[in-house]
Amino acid sequence: MSTPIRLGTRRSALAQAQSGHVAAALERISGRRVELVPIVSEGDTNRASLSEIGGLGVFATRLREALLAGQCDFLVHSLKDLPTAVPEGLFIAATPPREDARDVVITRDGTPLHALRAGAKVGTGSPRRIAQVRLRSPRSEVVDIRGNVDSRLARVETGELDAVILAAAGLSRLGSETTLKREELGLAEWPTAPGQGSLAVETTVDAASDLRAALAELDDEDTRLAITVERAILEGLDAGCQAPMAAHAVVTGDSMRVRTIVYDPASERRIGLDVTESLNRGYIRSHGSGDDADAADGADPNRAAREFGLSVARRLLEQGAADLVPREQS
């Protein structure tokens, strides 16, 4: 019997569920058994607010250390939790097809977020969501919360909170069943974090060629191009993955559209762009960006997508976004 492939994963129910989906797909492709290797990250043990510790990549650092130490063969991350810098010796081998990238509001009675009563308590630990709630429901009180999906739902069920904001993809992957009501928030007016709804499959640059080839079959090109643009905007802003900003890109036919907003957490000020770029033979033409990134035959589509995202970030900075986002910490 062949040696199983070891998949390093956090111990949370959501991490185990999304890792299980990837493991099943890889078993079908490779014909080998995939074994989950639970790893405890700082984000699982440090109960401080994500707004205080999130920029450090707390959900990824310990897993990456385990991968580099040979304790597992590859990792599955929630892409929105990953810092934009990939450590030396590692690379993202695949981005499977993206799930629903929207946020959802969970309430007991289905009251829309904008119609919640004055003083209603809305739970979220994300600076981006906090800023968005304050714009959509300014009479509400935002409560900074941590915890898994079930514990957050329970706080609404018991009446401790009137609503929580969660990622639609996480609810879908967990298959959470609840009598609570949900309101889907449209991406046009409520864009989400770079990479939300996407997974990153990461391994070492010197991984066995058969493993790399099998992981590559999990990759979805449209998802990779979209998240590359989104994460390049985050990189260009020099902001952490818990920054009060949103970016969502969609590939449709021969074009890509990205909506991005940087929020001021202390006021209603925000800076946004809605940009559509042409695609040419699967990669982006960066019109007039000044980076000489126009696509040519044989060019790397991911490099072109990154240049596009960086050009969008520069435009945001030119409009004053640097005053609104904290710098990334290493």
Measured between alpha carbons, how far apart are the two ends of the chain, in Å? 43
Looking at the annotation, which residues are catalytic?
81
Instruction: Please check whether residue 190 is in contact with residue 114, taking contact to mean a CB–CB distance below 8 angstroms.
Output: no
Instruction: Please check whether residue 73 is in contact with residue 123, taking contact to mean a CB–CB distance below 8 angstroms.
Output: no
